[in-house]
Amino acid sequence: MSILRSVITGSGSYLPPNIVTNADLAKKVDTTDEWITSRTGIKERRIADEGVLTSDLGTAAAKDALKNANVDASEIDLIILATATPNRIFPSTAITIQANLGITKGCAFDVQAVCSGFLYALTVADNMLQAGNFKKAIVIGAETFSRIVDWEDRATCVLFADGAGAVILESQTGGEGTLADRGVLYSHLRSDGRYEDMLYVDGGPGKSGTGFLKMAGKDVFKHAVSKIGSSIEQALSDNGLTSDDIDWFVPHQANKRILDAVAKRIKLDEDKVVVTVHKHANTSAASIPLALHDAVLDGRIKKGDLILIEALGGGFTWGSMLFRW
């Protein structure tokens, strides 16, 4: 049997050069390095300069992924951008990235699932490739969360940051239809709008102004651990796997304590957890591809490794995915 799989053939990233440490933040709001580190694991984050847009970060990450996959932009027929911080209401920011890359065929659109955005976008791209209408996709997570946090609210502004990551997803035949295949093997997406008031932005076209991010931190923490934990348990049991079968766990980088609690719940060896939250903070939809590319660059993730990703974001939206590198 030879079945079609969506295989990640390269990854890339881009971080704005401006590093803001916890000590820098402590000069602006009433906080300390000790508070931020002990509650979140975050030590520093990148913040885009004024005038630098989500499309700029996303374009740079996409170019890096194209180079690493050895794919020319002209071969791309699908661009999906996960972002909650688009350049403007419309057109989509993916369209701007498409133009920046000089691509004039296929289609480009945004997916909005906040911190779960990359997981959603990868699932949508996988399904479009599986349906046979598209061959090569760029899936990007890019965010400028510094534009939607209230820099006077110490409870939220210390958590979020800017950045972008991307992968090239190619439709390839030759899979055996088993978990030994390379490519996307399984995804589990969920949402439940009853929780929309726990994490949201209080602005937009239906309100006045862009608004600021609002969060019930303790509630988000509890839901994140339980919902992500359940999603992963389902992913493992649906595939007859245990956490020992996972080579690398690349979670959404919200908070080191959430990562530790989820890894403990699913009994995963902590050495298998890819952690970048200390240097990137929470870059929402960009955090998984940023972390993924980090582990590819330093040689941890190798061809044939089984990767587990997960996320929870505003909505709530959440889920998990298994793919073989």
d(CA 171, CA 167): 13
Residue 118 region by backbone torsions, left for phi larger than 0, else alpha for psi between -120 and 50, else beta: alpha
Residue selected from 27, 194, 218, 303 as contacting ligand ACO according to rule CB under 6 A: 218
Annotated catalytic, 68?
no
Q: Is 119 in the site for ligand ACO (CB under 6 A)?
A: no
Residue selected from 73, 107, 155, 241 as contacting ligand ACO according to rule CB under 6 A: 155
Q: Is 9 in the site for ligand ACO (CB under 6 A)?
A: no
Q: Give the alpha-carbon dihedral of 228, 234, 236, 239, to 10 degrees.
A: -150
Give min distance, CB of 100 to ligand ACO, in A. 28
Q: Are 30 and 88 in contact (CB under 8 A)?
A: no
Interface region with ligand ACO, contact rule CB under 6 A, candidates 14-22, 35-43, 56-64, 119-127: 35-43
Q: Are 251 and 224 in contact (CB under 8 A)?
A: no
Give min distance, CB of 236 to ligand ACO, in A. 20
Q: Which is nearer to ligand ACO, 145 or 323 (CB)?
A: 145
DSSP string, 209-246: SS--EEE-HHHHHHHHHHHHHHHHHHHHHHTT--GGG-
For 20, the token pair is 């803001």
Interface region with ligand ACO, contact rule CB under 6 A, candidates 2-10, 189-197, 249-257, 298-306: 249-257
Give me the catalytic one of 68, 87, 115, 280. Answer: 115
Q: Is 254 in the site for ligand ACO (CB under 6 A)?
A: yes
Annotated catalytic, 100?
no
Apex CA 245: angle with CA 261 and CA 220, to 5°? 25
Q: Is 268 in the site for ligand ACO (CB under 6 A)?
A: no
Q: Which is nearer to ligand ACO, 78 or 225 (CB)?
A: 225
CA-nearest of 72, 137, 128, 121 to 101 is 72
Name every residue whose Cβ is closer than 8 Å to that of residue 252 and which is 6 or more positions away in sequence. Answer: 115, 116, 119, 282, 287, 288, 309, 310, 311, 312, 313
Give min distance, CB of 216 to ligand ACO, in A. 8
Annotated catalytic, 115?
yes
The pattern of x and - marking residues 197 through 216 that bind ligand ACO according to CB under 6 A reads: --x---------------x-
Q: Is 147 in the site for ligand ACO (CB under 6 A)?
A: no
Q: Are 119 and 309 in contact (CB under 8 A)?
A: yes
CA-nearest of 268, 273, 270 to 291 is 273
Q: Is 276 in the site for ligand ACO (CB under 6 A)?
A: no
Q: Which is nearer to ligand ACO, 114 or 167 (CB)?
A: 114
Q: Is 66 in the site for ligand ACO (CB under 6 A)?
A: no
d(CA 140, CA 117): 9
d(CA 246, CA 123): 19
Give min distance, CB of 60 to ligand ACO, in A. 23
Interface region with ligand ACO, contact rule CB under 6 A, candidates 47-55, 57-65, 152-160, 237-245: 152-160
Give min distance, CB of 295 to ligand ACO, in A. 19
CB burial of residue 10 (10 Å; 0-12, 13-18, 19+): buried
| Residues tagged active-site | 115, 252, 282
Binding site for ligand ACO (CB under 6 A): 31, 35-36, 39-40, 115, 154-155, 158-159, 199, 215, 217-218, 220-221, 224, 252, 254-255, 258, 282, 312-313
